[in-house]
Amino acid sequence: MSIKFFLDEKDIPRQWYNLAADLPTPLQPPLGPNGKPVTPDMLAPVFPMNLIEQEVCQDRWVDIPEEILDILYRWRPSPLYRAKALEEALGTPARIYYKNEGVSPPGSHKPNTAVPQAWYNKKFGIKRLTTETGAGQWGSALSFACALLGLECKVFMVRISFDQKPFRRLMMETWGGNCIPSPSPETNAGRAILEKMPDTPGSLGIAISEAIEAAVTDPTGQTRYSLGSVLNHVMLHQTIIGLEAKKQLKKAGENLPDVVIGCAGGGSNFAGLAFPFVADKIAGANITIIPVEPQSCPTLTRAPFSYDHGDTAKMTPLLPMYSLGHAFVPPPIHAGGLRYHGMAPLVSQAVNEGLLTPLALGQIECYEAAMLWARTEGFISAPETSHAIAATIREAKKAKEEGKEKVILMNWSGHGLMDLTGYHAFLEGKLHDYPLPDAELAKSMSVMNGLPKPSTAKTGKW
């Protein structure tokens, strides 16, 4: 019996799917400092116009340019696996399938959007991209994409990660990326922080400020900023994962899955797998779709649907999203990619509509799941991915209790070979969970009190 389902290159999806076209309640616009919707022109110094057009696009299907496919073919279509060994270990009647996004050169789903973003920038005449990175997954994916397309890439990496994760930085440098610790003396934002706090470990908020400043202040006008999650066009690019999975499930003899699962930080790998199935759910299919977040950063499970800034420094427009408050500092869990206070507006809107069933898990349960995965399926998972695995195991056990032959589809978003310290802590018994007290959350969310509120109207029941 097969455990791995390929697609030939000729069968790769040639269009991305845009959930914005099908959402029962339309997506609400980002708001500028004046409280009014942001216009494309206002974003022009930050992003190239062709990507801004994609950001506001309402078309259901968007063609993938051939030149982008030519690069994606290096790891796409990614294989769909049947997790037969895990099923047997659990004794579940469920059939568990997962997309292996760890086969990309940087080892995660991130290049699915890094390549299109670099390509559209290049087409628009841009020579240089700036971005920020925390743990380094996104910075290495963008460095990779820029290397293949001949763009310069500057990555502001949160200083503490820069110091603690030298191998991530070396990945970026191997691909020609210029990775510098943030705060840096290269920007006004960085200099101001360094003057006040010369020994600061840095933060994603500061790094975003520096990356945007470095882009918009380039006097040649040939630099733009790039973001690895949250935005609509990022979700769009990632839907190739779910579109491939649909074709591969058919090859495996399955129809639609009963359960779809992905971990969710900013939302992109989750959206990538799930959105094509959200379309089926809107059309009437009975599918449980689960974004999994950390118990210590419970955006979708304990925060309100609100308008909030995407960054700590309030440089971004207000986005309609579930948010713990833009000043929230998540506890130091190992899944750095899930330590984000907000959530992609498209994912948020789908949650508000009741289309998704969010779940929050503690990291100890997630590492237990990742250990079982490593010793059955064989792959070592990224700490972020372990959240999806833990939720999958919960669902597989539920299917066993119910005696149901459910089909579960999961996104294995990346390997953990660059992030083994969490496994070490787990094996040594030194891993902690960080449940958040209500009072702490309330305080964090209070920064949104004066901000505008999006409509929370719901149109459907799923």
Cα angle 206, 212, 218 (rounded to 5 degrees) comes to: 130
By CB under 8 A, which span of 18-26, 152-160, 169-177, 183-191 interacts with a second copy? 169-177
First-to-last alpha carbon distance for the chain, in angstroms, is: 35
Nearest approach, Cβ of 103 to a second copy (angstroms)?
6
Residues 6 or more apart in contact with residue 363 via CB below 8 angstroms: 294, 295, 296, 333, 334, 335, 383, 386, 422, 431, 432, 433, 434
Closer to a second copy by CB, 6 or 434: give it. 6
- Site for a second copy contains 6 (CB under 8 A): yes
- Which range in 26-34, 65-73, 267-275, 320-328 contacts a second copy by CB under 8 A? 65-73
Residue 321 within binding range of a second copy, rule CB under 8 A: no
Task: Give yes or no for residue 9 binding a second copy (CB under 8 A).
Answer: yes
Q: Among 39, 255, 421, 455, which residue sits at the site for a second copy (rule: CB under 8 A)?
A: 421
> What is the C-alpha separation between 396 and 386, in angstroms, rounded?
15
Q: In terms of Cα–Cα distance, which of 239, 322, 237 is closest to 278?
A: 239
Q: Does 175 bind a second copy (CB under 8 A)?
A: yes
103 binds a second copy (CB under 8 A): yes
Output 37 or 150, the one with its CB closest to a second copy. 150
427 interacts with a second copy by CB under 8 A: yes
| Cα→Cα distances 452→34, 306, 401, Å | 11, 8, 45
141-149, 221-229, 283-291, 321-329 -> range binding a second copy (CB under 8 A): 141-149
173 binds a second copy (CB under 8 A): yes
User: With the CA atoms of 269, 273, 279 and 284 taken in that order, what torsion angle do they form, in degrees rounded to the nearest 10?
Assistant: -120
Would you count residue 423 as binding a second copy (CB under 8 A)? yes
Q: Which of residues 67-86 bind a second copy (CB under 8 A)?
A: 70-71, 73-74, 81, 85
Residues 370-389: x/- map of binding to a second copy (CB under 8 A)?
Answer: -x--xxxxxxx---------
420 is a site residue for a second copy (CB under 8 A) = yes
For position 147 contacting a second copy by CB under 8 A, the verdict is yes
Asked if 89 is part of the footprint of a second copy (rule: CB under 8 A), the reply reads no
Chain contacts with a second copy (rule: CB under 8 A): 2-4, 6, 8-10, 70-71, 73-74, 81, 85, 103, 105, 107, 144, 147-148, 167, 170-171, 173-176, 371, 374-380, 417-418, 420-421, 423-424, 427
